[in-house]
Every structure is written in C-alpha cells, then in structure tokens.
Structure 1
C-alpha cells in the first residue's frame, strides 16, 4: 500500500507506540487522524503533521462513532487503522486475602480488547467502500497485542486476557474481511521504552531487561513503528500476530 496521501487513523496516539507510529506514518506521506483520551499528548504531533486530533474513549461506542464520523467528514475514509490504545496496570486475582477487583478487570478488558474491536469494526465497515488498489486492497488494520498474551506474569491475568483476546481476534477478523480486500494483522511487542514500562520500579526493570536475549535493552517505539510499515508494505501479511520482543520469553514474575 502506498502511504502517500493515504488516511491513517492511529489510536493511543498521545504517547509511546502510538505516537511513534503516527510520526513515522506522517514522514512517509500519510494523512493522519489521531485518537486518544489525552489531547495534550497529541497537540504537538498534530501541529507538526497537520493531523486531525480527537479526544475519545476508544471503548465508548457512541463517542467513537461520533469521532469516526468526524474523521470521515473532515478527512475522508481511512485505508489504514493502527490500534495502539491500551493500558497495563497490575491486577491480582486474589488481593490482600480477598478476591481481586472485578471492576479493574473489566476496565482493562474494556479498553484493551473492546476498544480495539470497536475501532476495528468502524474502520472495516467504512473501508469496504474504498476503491481497491492494484493488489485489490481496500484497507489494512493493525492491532496491538502483547507477549503477555502468551506468557502473562503473576499480576497480569487481566492484561494477558485482554491481549490474548486481541491476538485471537486477528485470524477470524482477517478471514471475515478478506472478501472485502481488507487485511488484519497484529503486533505483540515485548518490553518497549513506553510510559507503561517506565512506570515499573528500577529494580523490576533491571530484572526483566536482564532476561532479554538480544539486543539486551527495551525496544524503541520507532522500532514498533517500523514493524507497522513492514506490515503495510507487504500484501502477503494477513491474519498473523508478530512477536516483536528480541527473543524474550517472560518468566512467572
């Protein structure tokens, strides 16, 4: 897919993986629509790139539909959606001798999984009306899973469940949307230098980073963005979840 002049929506664009992805897409000529609940983080990027930025809870159906309609009215129909919005708090199943918070479990699943599906469904429905390119493509949707989907640590039951849902969504979504010429893939990053990872204590960071085979460091957000470009560029990529983790296999704690 040629990104020049192509409308790309990036959720979670105020920081971390989403912001790096949006910046690289803009450098490659894409037109941008940025979505995040924190408008302050999108402001500088919107000024840099001329992007449309909208504050929105990705898991809120009505708010998301209104935001999506605004994007279409101002910018047109997207050909690319990159879902990066997400949270990664710890949430124990048994907490201080009692059952963990169901409210917190629901919040994590709501943002990470339901929010991803919500924007996937909106983008896919709109993309079906796009004219196909030379490969027959009408759109590409890239979601963000996590290696926690496969090796969730203690305290990550909710996060792992939410990201496992994103991973499991990939193939059936790709199969369903194939007849419309829409590809679906997901990236499962390991430890990246984002606000989520930086919120860990230094002790935890040192222990976890030491377990990374090579390169022995957290990933850079621009390396995630490069993976997005690779998926967009290669029409054979469809229905797969790609680990981006420097060979890391997470231990129980």
Structure 2
C-alpha cells in the first residue's frame, strides 16, 4: 500500500483511528478527516510517531489532518480540494464517520435526532461517495469501504433510526459498486457488532466497559465478548488491498457469529 493516498473520515477516534493507523503501518499516505480537529491531529501525531520507528513499516509521507463535518457539503469539498492540492489524487477511502444520537421506542423518538442521524450516517456518506468516485475515476481506479453494522442486516428494539441509516449504507454500497465496477473502483462495507469505541460509551448509548449495559451486549454475542477497533480495521485494510481485487458490492460480517443465527 506504499504511497496509496487514503482518506478516513471520523478518524479522530475508535474504528476510524485504528484504520488510519493500520493503513499507515502498511505504507499508505493518510488523510484524517474529523469534525474534532484536535482528535484528528492526535491521530496524525500517532502515525508520525510510528513512522519514525524504522521497524514499524509505517508510512513515510506525513499524514494530513483536516477538520470536516460530513453533513456540510462545502467542508467535504474542501477536504477533496486539499487532497488534490497535497497529493494529486485519491486511491482509498473509508467512510467511517457516524453517530447514534438516540436509542428508544419509535413512538417517543425525537424527529430532530432522526434527522441528525440521517444527515451524518446517510447524507454524509452519500456526499463523500460523490467526491470519492469522481477522484478515483480520474485516478483510474480505487477502493472504498463504508461502515455499516449488523443493523444493516437486522435490528433491535430501540434502534429504528440507526437501523434505517445502516440499511441505507448497504444500499449505497451496492449501487455505487455497480455504477463503478467498469471504472476499476471497488465499493464494499463492513458490518461490526458492538465495538469498544466512544460511540458506545457516549451519553446516547452509555454502555461503558464493565457496566451492566456492556455486559448485556457481551452476553448477547455468541463469543461472549465485544470487538476491539483494531479487529475491524484489519478487515477494512484487507478490503482496500489488492488481495481483495475481485471483491465488490458486498460486506464482511465482523460480529463474532451474531448474524449466523
């Protein structure tokens, strides 16, 4: 992957940060986009520190940290302008930025929360895909991974809005893969179950490791544990790599056999 220009949205923490680090370890040039610019800079600093160690095999090109709210098309456009200005094109993209703003019965669900989640999880991915596809067609090909979820296939009580957004991501993955197969652009998704990230420990889900809620998620999984971000990142890196050269339009279940039932 040496020299491959790679965009990861929401790379300031969690799966996004783990993916950016894993891509850098494989030699890719990393563009870190996050609405929390300080967190994006922290990820960039971690990559830079790793690249100073000759035994890590990390990227030699300095990472680029950018502030970006994916719900704002102008900010997304600025990210891609910066990619062109700094690197002249894009090879890989990981559309990871996502939120879960509320969990609860649909009868009580806030419409403002629903709109916010749709704006980030669906419109944000849609807008990024528009730019990514254009950039990769100019490049002559590329690979994209979208972050779906087990709720892109099934659902659970209280997750109606989140389920809608992840089903939409699955549909986008299939459609954009079909549109761009002849252009050498592969598009896939990953479907994690519960992963130890800030999304799970925030105020809306509030399932910190060690809590009763966290234990309930662990017990619901056949493995009796939840995933770590690095486990998801490893699959994303493979999907982007040439080892997955004939893989497009689908997804990988990263769920400890949850969906096998």
Q: Is TM-score (shorter-chain normalized) higher than 0.5?
A: yes
Listed as ranges, the matches of 1:98-117 within 5 Å are 100-117=109-126
**In 2 relative to 1, CA 170–143 (structure 1 residues): closer, same or farther, beyond 3 Å?**
same
Q: Which residue of structure 1 aligns with residue 258 of structure 2?
A: 248
Q: Which residue of structure 2 aligns with residue 89 of structure 1?
A: 101
Deviation string, structure 1 residues 151-178 (Cα, Å, up to 9, x no partner) = 2222211111001100111111111011
Structure 1: stretches of 5+ with no match in the other structure? 132-137
Q: Is 1:64 aligned to 2:76, yes or no? A: yes
Deviation string, structure 1 residues 135-165 (Cα, Å, up to 9, x no partner) = xxx1001000011122222221111100110
For the Cα contact (< 8 Å) 2:12–2:42, is it kept in 1?
no
Structure 1 window deviating more from structure 2 (162-171 vs 192-201): it is 192-201
Q: Which residue of structure 1 aligns with residue 201 of structure 2?
A: 198
Structure 1 window deviating more from structure 2 (7-16 vs 113-122): it is 113-122
Aligned residues: 238
Q: Is 1:166 aligned to 2:169, yes or no? A: yes
Q: Which residue of structure 2 aligns with residue 135 of structure 1?
A: none
State the 1:250 CA deviation: 11
Cα separation, 2, equivalents of 1:232 and 1:40: 27
Deviation string, structure 1 residues 168-214 (Cα, Å, up to 9, x no partner) = 11111111011211000000110111112234341111112112112
Listed as ranges, the matches of 1:31-46 within 5 Å are 31-46=29-44
Q: Which residue of structure 1 aligns with residue 56 of structure 2?
A: none
Q: Which residue of structure 1 aligns with residue 232 of structure 2?
A: 224
Let me know the Cα RMSD of the aligned residues: 1.6
Under a length normalisation based on structure 2, what TM-score does the superposition of the two structures give?
0.87
Q: Is 1:145 aligned to 2:157, yes or no? A: no
**In 2 relative to 1, CA 204–250 (structure 1 residues): closer, same or farther, beyond 3 Å?**
farther
For the Cα contact (< 8 Å) 2:101–2:116, is it kept in 1?
no
For the Cα contact (< 8 Å) 1:152–1:250, is it kept in 2?
no
Pick the aligned partner of 2:8 from 10, 13, 21. 10
